Amino acid sequence: MAVRGLGVAVLLASACLAGVCGDEFSILRSPQSVVFRDGGWPIPGDRIPDVASLFMGFSIEEDLPWPGLAAGDLFHRPRAAVLVTVKGVDKLTLPAKGISYPIENAVPFSLDSVANAIHNLFSEETPVVLQLAPSEERVYMVGKANSVFEDLSVTLRQLRNRLFQDNSILSSLPLNSLSRNNEVDLLFLSELQVLRDIVTLLSRHKHLAKDHSPDLYSLELSGLEEIGKHYGEDSQQFKDASQILVDTLQKFADEMYNLYGGNAVVEMVAVKAFNSPLTRKTRSILQSSQGDTDNPYNLAYPYNYNYSVIFNIILWMMIGLALAVIVISYNLWNMDPGYDSIIYRMTNQKIRMD
């Protein structure tokens, strides 16, 4: 398996050298129980959710032959996973303590599989699951997130109104060449305001960061992309916005990391533009109903990943029952009715009394 993983890593590295990889997957903060190796190995874009599943302790359907994530402490899993996706730029200048990996084939992805695993395994506890894309007014909350972030601005009108309140980032953040009178700039600044509000609201419920159920945060920021389209990527506004975003993201990562007592993984994906999803990963309804024309060799369907679990349960249960029958039969065969069976003893005494 190690040789196979190394071979895949070499192929992906060759692809990156050829110009396929341009985007970046970065680890801003992580606890000691989660080990990321600093090697620059490229990761497929559609496997980023699997990385989050693995370091959270959940199983995945397919093996991940990526050497960037090492086997950490199995008995101390992170309490939270935070993923921030920044669109419109393929790389952001991060501090030296961060680790970055190139992304090979950056296709759209989501952390729905991780959210479903948390919801299924910890439905009776208090998990916090928040998936938010402010500029698209797309929000998904599960568990205690509905009560913790009930005052969070999620619509464009709410975001704009939040910026002009007294305690907004406009009063403390240096705007430089950005303007508070431009709608594109306000959209970018409102996303930064959302990051600050998430930390502020979560700090009021610190007990949720100390429970046993893991939390998940997935945020998608596209304000920088709009600034690049409006002003140009060589403009001073784009450079200032990039620097402001880097500083805000690092502060956000540090604050989230500290809220969870140093037991949270904060990731960032910087992607210039998402590619179209790979067709080999999709299957239409028409294809599933065509029958023999799509399967001329009568190949079996790929089994579910739970097959090995069910097989082992049935196998060892049958072996246990077989051994139990053999042991019971052996003892019955060699049993002395006069001494080993209370039935024969009681019957024998009754006959003598008669």
- pLDDT profile of the chain (354 residues), mean per 10: 44 44 85 87 91 89 87 83 92 78 89 87 83 86 84 88 87 86 91 93 85 90 92 92 92 93 92 67 40 53 70 94 95 76 60 54
Question: Would 49 be classed as within a structural domain?
Answer: yes
Q: How high is the pLDDT of residue 345? A: 59
CA distances from 194 to 66, 77, 250, 317 (A): 33, 27, 15, 53
- CA 174-25-76 angle, 5° bins: 100
Structure tokens at 140: 């998904």
Question: Would 305 be classed as within a structural domain?
Answer: no
Question: Would 280 be classed as within a structural domain?
Answer: no
Prediction pTM value: 0.71
CA distances from 67 to 10, 18, 27, 264, 307 (A): 11, 21, 15, 21, 27
Question: Would 38 be classed as within a structural domain?
Answer: yes
Q: How high is the pLDDT of residue 250? A: 92
Question: Would 57 be classed as within a structural domain?
Answer: yes
Question: Would 247 be classed as within a structural domain?
Answer: yes
Q: Which of 170, 121, 172 is nearest to 142 (CA)?
A: 121
What is the distance between the alpha carbons of residues 149 and 239, in angstroms, rounded to a whole number?
31
Cβ-based neighbours of 181, under 8 Å, separated by 6 or more: none
Question: Would 321 be classed as within a structural domain?
Answer: no
- The parent domain of residue 50 ranges over 19-271
Question: Tokens 């799509």 identify what position?
Answer: 294
Q: How many domains does the chain have?
A: 1
Q: How high is the pLDDT of residue 1? A: 41
Question: Would 236 be classed as within a structural domain?
Answer: yes
